[in-house]
Every structure is written in structure tokens, then in C-alpha cells.
């Protein structure tokens, strides 16, 4: 009862400010106020400090009785497991709730992910399910769940030698509009201490051959945005890593100076990928792929490992490392 009351109070207060405005508009601390600066700076983290960053998404927290749209057992177990990784930051690639406008789904999130749901270093991106079924109510619930983001749907974070740039796939990203202008400014003013730029968004800018032909991923807007990012990545001293969700599986690409990682295996109904295509560097045929990724950043090198549930039918769950890669500046 207290949880429901807290959600209602928070939602009402945020609705007064949000009205019908999109993410990032009229916020107490808007990313648009100083587009040439990081929206947030994590204090007490030196550029020399080793960092562990966890990437994970597409859980679809909802009523555990719903076993069609999500796997409640895998979802809850992974939500508990990622907490034991003791990451310095968590990047959530979107689709946290099943229905973003339903406060009950957010309550399931807070309950099953109670060990980290309110963490200050949890950095989510907005997925399409965050705005389902009623977009404005979804925005309000999302902002209430992550008050540290001050209502920003797109934002950046400077943490040590890592510059995180989070984009909102549910709003126009490229080539015009507030978000596009903000992104250009951000990449024109990358902090000097950053060795890595991690771009995060829900819908991938590159994907397997199957998703490209069946689901039109990426869309033309995404292709033009990727082309721009590739041009910047090839000329800037920082190494670019892009992380996504949306595809309920795992994929990895190295393409024109950018390492692309799709980690959408947080518990939502898994998607089989029958035709990965030659560019996808992950070749394992095992299915399903309930997963998360750990990026260990030390100096000018990042070491990545994807962990998946070894056997989703086992009586006792465990994870196994199924992909390992290095990214160097």
C-alpha cells in the first residue's frame, strides 16, 4: 500500500511539471541548458580508476503470472544476479517495464530489482515499452523511477575516463531537432579526460541480417546517425562503444571504428536469430540468450565479457561467459 501511495504521489507531482512536454523539456536540470557540457559528473572518480560497467536490458517487469511476454524466473534471477557483480555503473538498454504507463509494472521492477533499482549510478535509456500503453503516463512513471536523471530523456554522464552519452530512441534523434543539436555539441566537447565514449540507446544502429530485413532495424534515420558517428569515431582520439537493447538476444559488431553491443536478454520473451550475417562477431547458436555484459575499463583498454544463463531449464541457475573481447583506444 505504501509503495502504491509513493508512486501516486510522485506521479502526480511530476505530471504537474511534465504536462504534455517531451523528455528533456522544462526540466529542473535540463541537458539542453548546457549542451557543451556533461549533464552529470560523477564525483570522486579519477580518470585513472578502473571501472566496471554493467550493460543489461529488456526485462519487461510485469505480473509474474505473465509467462508469454517475459520469462519471470529468468528475469527475477538476473535482476538479483547483476547486483552481485558490484558494478561501478549500470547501463540499462531500455524496456524495463512491460507497460510503462502501468504503475504496477514499475512496482514489480522495484520489488525484483530492489538491490539496485534506486541506485544513483543506474543510467537507463528510454525504450518503446517505457511509453506503452499511454506515453505521457509512461514518461511520468519513468521519471519517478529514476529521479537522479532530473526528468532528462537524453543526457550525458562523465565518470572517470568514460563519457556516457544516452540518447532517446522514442524521439527524433537525427538529423534535426533538439536531440540532434545536443548530440553534435556533446561530441564537439568531449571532456579531455575521457578515453572512451559509450553511446547508449534502445533501438540498434546496426543489427543482424534477419532483423534488418524483417523488422527494418536499423531504420534509415539510424543508418544516417551511424554514418555520422562513424565519421566522428574515426577522427576523435576516444574509442567509441555503442550499447543497445530491443533485440532480445546478444550481438556484437566492429564497424568503422565503433564497437556495437546489443544486450537485450534481461528476461523478455527471447528472440531467435537464425541469420546473423557475416558482420555479427557472436557466432554461438545456443538459444535463448538471457544475458548481461561487463565492461572493465582500465586506462586505454576496455575488456568485455558477456554472461548468459547457462541453462534456462535447470533447477538451479548459473551463468557462463560466452563472449569475450577487447577494445583499445
| Residue written as grid cell 549533464 | 39
Identify the pLDDT of residue 29: 77
- Reading the block at residue 136, the C-alpha cell is 505521457
Q: Look at residue 16 in the predicted model and tell me its pLDDT.
A: 41
Q: How many domains does the chain have?
A: 1
Q: For residues 244 and 261, is the Cβ–Cβ distance under 8 A?
A: yes
C-alpha cell at position 289:
540468450
pTM: 0.92
Q: What is the DSSP string of 57-85?
A: ----B--TT--SSB-HHHHHHHHHHHHTT
Longest CA–CA span in the chain (Å) reads 54
10-residue stretch averages of pLDDT, the chain, 329 residues long:
48 43 55 96 97 98 98 98 98 98 98 96 98 96 96 97 98 97 98 98 97 95 98 97 98 97 98 95 97 97 98 97 94
Cβ-in-10-Å burial (0-12, 13-18, 19+) of 279 comes to middle
Angstrom distances, CA of residue 152 to CA of 167, 214, 225: 10, 32, 21
Q: What is the pLDDT of residue 4?
A: 53
Which of 270, 315, 274 is closest to 291 using CA atoms?
270
Query: How many helices, marked H, and strands, marked E, lie in the chain?
Result: 7, 13
Phi-psi region of 299 (alpha: psi -120 to 50; beta: other; left: phi over 0): left
DSSP per-residue letters across 210-221: HHHHHS--S-HH
72-83 and 103-112 helices, crossing angle to 10°: 50
Other residues' Cβ atoms within 10 Å of the Cβ of residue 326: 9
The pLDDT value given to residue 289: 98
User: What local confidence, expressed as pLDDT, does residue 329 receive?
Assistant: 76
CATH number for the domain that contains residue 91: 3.60.21.10
CA distance 30 to 36: 12
Nearest to 125, CA basis, from 274, 302, 263, 281: 263
What range does the domain containing 42 cover? 2-328
Amino acid at each position: 500500500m505504501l509503495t502504491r501511495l509513493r508512486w501516486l504521489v510522485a506521479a502526480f507531482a511530476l505530471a504537474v511539471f511534465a504536462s504534455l512536454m517531451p523528455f528533456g523539456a522544462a526540466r529542473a536540470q535540463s541537458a539542453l541548458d548546457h549542451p557543451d557540457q556533461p549533464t552529470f559528473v560523477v564525483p570522486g572518480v579519477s580518470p585513472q580508476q578502473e571501472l566496471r560497467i554493467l550493460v543489461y536490458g529488456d526485462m519487461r517487469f510485469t505480473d509474474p503470472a505473465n509467462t508469454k511476454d517475459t520469462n519471470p524466473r529468468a528475469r527475477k534471477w538476473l535482476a538479483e544476479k547483476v547486483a552481485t557483480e558490484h558494478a561501478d555503473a549500470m547501463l540499462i538498454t531500455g524496456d524495463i517495464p512491460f507497460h510503462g504507463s502501468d504503475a504496477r509494472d514499475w512496482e514489480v521492477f522495484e520489488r525484483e530489482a530492489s538491490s539496485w533499482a534506486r541506485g544513483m549510478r543506474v543510467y537507463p535509456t528510454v525504450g518503446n515499452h517505457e511509453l506503452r500503453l499511454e506515453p505521457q503516463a509512461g514518461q511520468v512513471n519513468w521519471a519517478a523511477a529514476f529521479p537522479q536523471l532530473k526528468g532528462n530523456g537524453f543526457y550525458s554522464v562523465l565518470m572517470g575516463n568514460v563519457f556516457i552519452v544516452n540518447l532517446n530512441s522514442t524521439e527524433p534523434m537525427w538529423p534535426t531537432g533538439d536531440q540532434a543539436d545536443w548530440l553534435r555539441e556533446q561530441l564537439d566537447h568531449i571532456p579531455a579526460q575521457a578515453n572512451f565514449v559509450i553511446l547508449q540507446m534502445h533501438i540498434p544502429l546496426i543489427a543482424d541480417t534477419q532483423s534488418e530485413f524483417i523488422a527494418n532495424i536499423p531504420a534509415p534515420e539510424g543508418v544516417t546517425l551511424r554514418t555520422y558517428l562513424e565519421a566522428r569515431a574515426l577522427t576523435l582520439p576516444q574509442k567509441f562503444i555503442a550499447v543497445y537493447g530491443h533485440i532480445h538476444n546478444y550481438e556484437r559488431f566492429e564497424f568503422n571504428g565503433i564497437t556495437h553491443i546489443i544486450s537485450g536478454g534481461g528476461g523478455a520473451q527471447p528472440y531467435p536469430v537464425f541469420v546473423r550475417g557475416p558482420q555479427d562477431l557472436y557466432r554461438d547458436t545456443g538459444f535463448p540468450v538471457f544475458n548481461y555484459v561487463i565492461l572493465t575499463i582500465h586506462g586505454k583498454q576496455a575488456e568485455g565479457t558477456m554472461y548468459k544463463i547457462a541453462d534456462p531449464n535447470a533447477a538451479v541457475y548459473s551463468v557462463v561467459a560466452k563472449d569475450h573481447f577487447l577494445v583499445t583506444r
